[in-house]
Amino acid sequence: MAYELHYWPTIQGRGEFVRLALEAAGADYVDVARGRGKGQGVAASLRRMTAKRLVQPPFAPPFLVHGKHTIGQTAAILLYLGPRLGLVGKSEAARIWTHQLQLTVADVVAEVHETHHPIATSLYYEEQKKEAAKRAKAFREQRIPKFLDWFNTVLARNPAGSTWLVGARLSYADLSLFQLVDGLLYAFPKATQRALATTPHVVALHLRVGSHKRVAAYLGSTRRIAFNEDGIFRRYPELDA
């Protein structure tokens, strides 16, 4: 049974963490809001989310539909998909640790969104540029180095070696860290390069995931939406320095 991913069709956004997991595993899935068939497209996707018969309604996209399950929240979707796609270890300890890493990636992603929307999601960036400049400065100078240092430490301390974040195999946390670094390099190239200069394990992980056979094929395909200024990672040169 194919997985149905429901997410905004023109941005990577939070949906990209789910796309990467499905792609890396070679899973059979439909990116519903991007389809043109019957029951597809963004309107159909939103109708699905707001249907009154849904007893477990997602708060917002992305959400996954699989058989009778409808699951929202990126990290909860990956909690569900991880074991099914072979993207998490079998032990409870490995699953909780992988999830902890994912939740920390999610924290950074939320902070990235705040750099261009520090006042309100309902306003345009242009309406909060002054505040965004201040917020982005703190994010660049304090938060990017702190988060990337932590992930570097996690890789350095992995008893199975620094190849992957958890144990000796690719997990969804590796895919998510790849996406985080990729997005940071797009949005804040100067600040991110500075932080990566002292976090070599993170650099190596980013390259390793990007050259994973199925991930590389995905990144080179039209299924990978390009970064753009409607997504979470936006390149506003005035916010980088």
Piece of the chain touching its own copies by CB under 8 A; list 13-21, 38-46, 155-163, 168-176: 155-163
Mark 103-142 with x for binding to its own copies (rule: CB under 8 A) and - for no binding: xx--x--x---x---xxxxxx-------x--xx--x---x
Q: Which is nearer to its own copies, 1 or 120 (CB)?
A: 120
Look at residues 40, 58, 42 and name the one whose alpha carbon lies nearest to residue 50. 58
Write out the two tokens for 8. 């905004």
What's the closest the beta carbon of residue 38 comes to its own copies, in angstroms?
Answer: 27
Q: Which is nearer to its own copies, 92 or 238 (CB)?
A: 92
Report the first-to-last Cα separation within the chain, whole angstroms.
Answer: 47
Q: Which is nearer to its own copies, 19 or 135 (CB)?
A: 135
Distance CA 155, CA 183 (A): 20
Q: Residue 86 class from Cβ within 10 Å (0-12 exposed, 13-18 middle, 19+ buried)?
A: middle
Buried b (16+ CB within 10 A) or exposed e, 92-130: eebbebbbebbebbbebbeebbbbbbbeeeeeeeeebee
Mark 159-178 with x for binding to its own copies (rule: CB under 8 A) and - for no binding: x-------------------
Q: Which is nearer to its own copies, 94 or 219 (CB)?
A: 94
What's the closest the beta carbon of residue 134 comes to its own copies, in angstroms?
Answer: 5
Mark 16-55 with x for binding to its own copies (rule: CB under 8 A) and - for no binding: --------------------------------------xx
What's the closest the beta carbon of residue 102 comes to its own copies, in angstroms?
Answer: 9
Pairing of strands 29-31, 3-6: parallel
At 187, the amino acid letter reads: A
Piece of the chain touching its own copies by CB under 8 A; list 26-34, 40-48, 148-156, 168-176: 148-156
- H helices then E strands: how many in the chain? 10, 4
What's the closest the beta carbon of residue 41 comes to its own copies, in angstroms?
Answer: 24
